[in-house]
Amino acid sequence: MNTGYNFAYLDEQTKRMVRRAILKAVAIPGHQVPFGSREMPLPYGWGTGGIQLTASIIGPDDVLKVIDQGADDTTNAVSIRRFFARTAGVAPTTRTGDASIIQTRHRIPEKPLREDQIIVYQVPQPEPLSRLEPSRAETRRMHALSEYGLMHVKLYEDITRFGHVAISYDYPVMVNHRYLMAPSPIPAFDNPKLHMMPALQLFGAGREKRIYAVPPWTDVRSLDFDDHPFRAARAPHSCGLCGATDGYLDEVVVDDRGGRLFVCSDTDHCETRRAAGHTGADALAAE
């Protein structure tokens, strides 16, 4: 553990500022709380919001899992895990069930989370209305008035044009019947996991300087219409390695003749299943 910096890198005054913002975020589920985001030693866009959240909550007894795209071994996940190993000396894990804090980019683990866990999302764009209204002064006003007609119109236009909503990730949700919220760029497949999750969910956007939260057991609904209910899509295949049919799949190009291998995006889910003896159709070929 490197002692040149404070525990978990951030100075104590910064942690207090972030902690105060987190508490207000928990008290107002789905509301984006502005915070004095600091420059981190990783670039904006690499998870500086999530890193500041994790640095402000983590303690020496925590067990940390970091995933990017569902995988523990993607380079950015490795880099962030190393950052906390170096600055906080915490125990890392790749096992979802063993982690007390899970920092994630773009996925929610397949294994249901528990009440004693916290999931920290890295958020590139916290404003769910940003593609419809670029001015933040204007979108703040819309949130104040709970005026989300713009988003409903967008979804309705999708339906009239394509027959269904054409948003496949970062699919907007209503939190606690009050705030429209960007769930971060998780696939819409993961959206149902946000609803009534036993774990506390924290969202950090470093560059945009916003923190928001969903407390445990909170109502989180993906926007839809009665006659066009929300549908969570996944590739219609089973995992080539473990045979799972319930998880989100990555599509791996294996040759230049159209060959494809579908494998679990959640590497811990896949490894746990394989360790338990499950095999997929391509398991031998992939070894």
Partner 1 sequence: MSIDLPGFADPVLGSQACFRAVLDAMARPGTFRAAGAGLSPPAPLVPAAAAVLLTLVDAETPFYLAPGFAPAQDWIGFHCGALPVEFPGVAAFVLADTLPDLAALAAGSDESPDASATVILQVAALGSGRRLRLSGPGLRVPVSVDVTGLPDNFPVLWAANHALYPRGIDILLCSGTTLAALPRSVRVEG
Partner 2 sequence: MAYVAVKGGERAIDNAHAWLAEARRGDTSVAEIGTAQIAGQLGRAVDRVMTEGSLYDRELAALAIKQAQGDLIEAAFLLRAYRTTLPRFAHAAPVDTAAMQIRRRISAVYKDLPGGQVLGPTYDYTHRLLDFSLLGEAVPPPAPEAPAAAANMPRVTDILAHEGLIEADGAGGKEPGDITREPLSFPAERDVRLQSIARGDEGFLLALGYSTQRGWGGSHPFVGEIRAGDVSVEITPPELGFAIDIADVTLTECQMVTQFKGSKTVPPQFTRGYGLAFGHADRRAMAMALVDRAMRAEELGEEVTAPAQNVEFVLYHCDNIEATGFVEHLKLPHYVDFQSELETIRRMRAEAREDAA
Q: Rule CB under 8 A: which residues touch partner 2?
A: 5, 11, 14, 34-41, 43-46, 48, 68-70, 73-79, 82, 105-107, 124, 135-137, 162-163, 166, 168-170, 185-189, 207, 209-210, 233-235, 248-254, 261, 263, 265, 285-286
Active site residue 204: no
Q: What are residue 130's phi and psi, to 5 degrees?
A: -60, -30
To partner 1, the closest distance from the beta carbon of 83 in angstroms equals 17
E strand or H helix at 140, and its extent? helix 136-145
Q: With contact defined as beta carbons under 8 Å apart, do 112 and 269 qualify? A: no
Q: With contact defined as beta carbons under 8 Å apart, do 211 and 48 qualify? A: no
Is there binding between residue 216 and partner 1 (CB under 8 A)?
yes
Candidates 50, 242, 247, 280; catalytic one: 242
> Which of these, 142, 135, 217, lies nearest to 172 by C-alpha position?
142
Q: What are residue 136's phi and psi, to 5 degrees?
A: -75, -30
* Cα(87)–Cα(41) distance, integer angstroms: 12
Q: With contact defined as beta carbons under 8 Å apart, do 162 and 82 qualify? A: no
To partner 1, the closest distance from the beta carbon of 8 in angstroms equals 8
Candidates 30, 47, 247, 280; catalytic one: 30
Q: Which stretch binds partner 1 (CB under 8 A): 29-37, 103-111, 183-191, 245-253?
A: 29-37
Among partner 2, partner 1, none, residue 26 binds (CB under 5-8 Å by kind): partner 1
Q: How far is CA 220 from the centre of its chain?
A: 14
Among partner 1, partner 2, none, residue 235 binds (CB under 5-8 Å by kind): partner 2
User: Quick one: CA torsion of 95, 98, 101, 105, rounded to 10 degrees?
Assistant: 10
Candidates 50, 206, 239, 240; catalytic one: 239
Among partner 2, partner 1, none, residue 163 binds (CB under 5-8 Å by kind): partner 2
Q: Does residue 265 sit in helix, strand or coil?
A: coil
- Catalytic site positions: 30, 239, 242, 264, 270
Binding site for partner 1 (CB under 8 A): 6-7, 12-13, 15-17, 19-29, 31, 33-34, 56-60, 115, 140-141, 143-145, 176, 178-179, 196, 198, 200, 214-219
